[in-house]
Amino acid sequence: MKVIRPIALDDLDALLQMARNAGAGFTSLPPQRNNLLNKIERSLLSFDGDVQQPGHQRYMFVLEETDSGEIGGCCAIEAACGLDEPFYNYHVGLTVHASNELGVYARVPTLYLSNDLTGTSVLCSLYLCPHFRAAGVGHLLSKSRFLFMASFMSRFSHKVIAEMRGVSDEHGRSPFWEGLGRHFFNIEYEAAEHIVGQGNKACIAELMPKHPIYTVLLPEEAQSVLGRVHSQTAPALKLLEQEGFRYQNYIDIFDGGPAVEAPIGEIRSIRRSRLLRVRTDAHPPDSPASPTLISNAKLNDFRCALAPLSSRRDHAHISRELAAALGVDNDDIVRVAALQ
């Protein structure tokens, strides 16, 4: 059975391997052991902390196959971004040039360096190992975070965003970086990624031009990838769009990938989730069941799984195997959210 749980120190080797396999553009999970160890330790402190409002917490989860103990994926939530250093994006705006006398009217997309998303909660570090990519597993990994957020709303901002990985080729070359960033930093995109992965995004952003940038001055290849995602990220974007996330014209300053956002209370799995009491059965009723995200209501021992659920009145009828995996028993509270 596949279960989502908080990351532990023993997961460091598996996390490092996933970071190495993720490839270019995955800046929130750099393949350096010490950096990843710091992220795990920060996550442990975040789960242990007495939190009344979002701050510097970072909650990280892994997908575990309970039968073998194998780790097949990871995901995380930053409680609030930009609290100790500026959080930068480009806002894609519009500049209009017009002259009645000359008969000229031109609408020109323009990039403005922005801190507008400061303080928002950020979905990040989503990665699923290729051999775990079966029906429903990606949904479990991505959407389990919403059940956690629904149970602990005070720990998160009123707005949630996700910065999606932008377009790069098989060699890790980013057209957006080549068309813009390289003019201010004569380094390869991979080197810029390394700097960002070390937590130094702001220091690079502050050296970027502060004045608006007309996109028509960029190479056509760079213009063509504005707000587009990497092919491997397209499924993750689709899942977020199903949850109500929308692109609002903010892009990453390095690879041009889109930032999508949603008010926390309007995220589908949060808004439609409900609390039920557990009824454990060796053989749950054969009443109609649909694929459902099911989580316990615990903080440090959070668990979430995807399984067919039969519910009657205010009770969730689940197998004893699933109850054990979630760490719940009869009359315990679980949170559920249907996939569809």
Per the structure block, which two tokens stand in for 64? 């575990």
CB 258 within 8 Å of CB 228:
yes
- CA 140, CA 133: separation in Å to the nearest integer? 11
Phi-psi region for residue 103, left (φ > 0), alpha (ψ -120 to 50) or beta? left
Residue 239 tokens read as: 């899942």
Rounded-to-integer distance, Cα 219 and Cα 178, Å: 9
Residue from 146, 144, 122 nearest 266 by CA: 146
Nearest to 227 by CA among 249, 242, 244: 249
Rounded CA gap, 271 and 220, in Å? 41
**Is 194 one of the annotated active-site residues of the chain?**
no
Angle formed by the axes of helices 137-151 and 234-242, nearest 10°: 40
8 Å CB contact between 119 and 81: yes
Long-range contacts made by residues 200-203, C-beta under 8 angstroms, separation at least 24?
Answer: 201/27, 201/88, 202/85, 202/86, 202/87, 202/88
Please identify which of the residues 91, 131, 230, 283 carries the catalytic annotation.
230
The catalytic residue positions are 230
